[in-house]
Amino acid sequence: MDGRKVFSDRAPPAGVPDKSIFKRPGSGTRLIAQDLLPKNAADELTAKTSEPSQPGSSSPKATGVDKELAERKKKEEQTEAALRKAAEDRVTKAKADNCQRAKQAQKGLDSGVRIGRINSQGEREIMDDTARAAESKRIQAVVDSDCK
């Protein structure tokens, strides 16, 4: 290019280096190759590429960067797995608690003791046999789903 900034919604030609691209189409953030690397890895990469290669020395190794990226990815996966396990544990605990409460409620209904409730008008009413049967059926569904 001749030093002009070009704005386009299309990808640049293959010959344009990544350091010359300020923002990729469709991405809301600035994307430069060095921004993708950790700060110390970017400094090492810059230092390695700026040093002239000496005869007899091997080519610069990028394995350090690969190891860091792999370690970071592994750490993120471990964190994600821990979060999933914690969520599963919360669900399991909630189901166990629901199971225990449903079993207690079922025992209360099965005992035959008169059970009173507060209706929508705020008045106390005693459960009749049909309401007791409906409540027993609802509680049994909870027991069936949560007590496995």
Helix (H) or strand (E) holding 118: strand 116-118
Average pLDDT, the chain: 78
Q: Is residue 40 part of a domain?
A: yes
For residues 24 and 11, is the Cβ–Cβ distance under 8 A? yes
High-pLDDT (> 90) share of the chain, %? 36
Q: Is residue 39 part of a domain?
A: yes
Q: Is residue 58 part of a domain?
A: no
Sign of CA dihedral 13, 14, 17, 22: positive
Location of structure tokens 């700060």: 39
Residue 15's domain comprises: 9-45
For residues 140 and 106, is the Cβ–Cβ distance under 8 A? yes
Q: Is residue 32 part of a domain?
A: yes
Q: Is residue 30 part of a domain?
A: yes
Q: Across residues 19-42, what is the average pLDDT?
A: 58
Q: Across residues 143-147, what is the average pLDDT?
A: 89
Location of structure tokens 């600035």: 30
Which tens digit of pLDDT belongs to each residue from 41-78? 545 555 555 444 455 445 455 556 788 899 999 999 99
Q: Is residue 76 part of a domain?
A: no
Taking residue 55's Cβ as centre, other Cβ atoms within 10 Å add up to 4
Q: Number of structural domains, the chain? A: 2
pTM for the full model? 0.46
Q: Is residue 4 part of a domain?
A: no
